[in-house]
Structure 1
Amino acid sequence: MKRNKIIFWTATILIFLFEGVMPAFTSQTEMAKEGIRHLGYPEYFGIALTVFKVLGAIILIVPKAPKRIKEWAYAGFGFDFIFASISHWAVDGFGMEAIFPWIVFAVLAVSYVYYHKLSDANAIR
């Protein structure tokens, strides 16, 4: 059980830092705005994406958040990573920009699997 908690919290904190903290502090930089424009998205999409990333990251990190809301947060991040990969591949071709979202998706999957392992173990008690 302790091992599962360590794995869950490590993966979840990485997602929280990468998808919650970083966008909160960097989304209004010129580099971030140019990244959104480069992919062909309007600037308001970057703002909306940042808001939902920060909210989703908070939901994942709060232990008492409702399970159904956490499921939506996991799904939202999953869609985000899949479509980020597709967008980068369509615009820049196959490269690290298209691969990196799948690496983060794998970390998200670890968090998700261990979230369910822990919640199932707690349901038994």
Structure 2
Amino acid sequence: MKTKTVKILYWVFTALFAFMMLGSAIPDIISMPAAVEGIHGKLGYPLYFIPFIGVAKALGAIAILIPGYPRIKEWAYAGLMFDLIAATYSLMCIPNPDAAWYFNLLPLALGASSYIFYHKKLKATAV
């Protein structure tokens, strides 16, 4: 695959992934009632966890968008994927058929694609 194509795909997947993660972080940071109801009311997590996880998601999304800093970027990808995997598992564990855990497959796929193309981009530019 050409270097230009790899870079374009990397930025498309990364921008979409960061947009989704920031979009889910903002309601958590400001503790919107819908976020509190979903995370605390339905899943049972403590109230102090909601803004914490929101700030962590926002920092992770910013970290994957900033060029350079490969070690921070690796940690950001890991943290965001852990968050999504934990959210998916939490939704699967509650006995509510309305809990659409399969929606989390989209950001998981975007995160995996972004990460894969991040490493392809690194490899293509190193040559």
Q: Does structure 1 retain, via aligned residues, the 8 Å contact 2:64–2:73?
A: yes
The aligned length equals: 122
Question: Shift of the alpha carbon at 1:121?
Answer: 1.4
After superposition, give the CA deviation of every residue in 1:1-57 in whole Å (9 maximum; x if it has no partner).
Answer: 221112111111111111124422x22210111111110101111111001000000
* Structure 1 CA distance for aligned equivalents of residues 57 and 111 of structure 2: 13
SS in 2 for 1:43: coil
Residue 115 of structure 1: aligned partner: 118
Q: Does structure 2 retain, via aligned residues, the 8 Å contact 1:89–1:95?
A: no
As a proportion of its length, which structure holds more helix? 1
After superposition, give the CA deviation of every residue in 1:67-91 in whole Å (9 maximum; x if it has no partner).
Answer: 1111111111111111111100111
Q: Percent identity over the alignment? A: 39
Residue 50 of structure 1: aligned partner: 54
Question: Shift of the alpha carbon at 1:95?
Answer: 6.5
* Structure 2 CA distance for aligned equivalents of residues 22 and 98 of structure 1: 15
SS in 1 for 2:53: helix
Q: Which amino acid aligns with 2:105?
A: W
SS in 1 for 2:75: helix
Question: Shift of the alpha carbon at 1:93?
Answer: 4.9
Query: Which consecutive residues of structure 2, in runs of 5 or more, have no partner in the other structure?
Result: none
Select which of 70, 73, 76 maps to 2:73.
Answer: 70
* Structure 2 CA distance for aligned equivalents of residues 110 and 92 of structure 1: 31
The TM-score normalised by the length of structure 2 is: 0.88
CA change 1:95–1:5 in 2 (3 A) is: farther
Select which of 13, 19, 22 maps to 2:21.
Answer: 19
Matched, 1:31 2:28: no
SS in 2 for 1:116: helix
Query: Which consecutive residues of structure 1, in runs of 5 or more, have no partner in the other structure?
Result: none
* Structure 1 CA distance for aligned equivalents of residues 98 and 86 of structure 2: 15
**Alignment RMSD:** 1.6
Question: Shift of the alpha carbon at 1:97?
Answer: 2.0
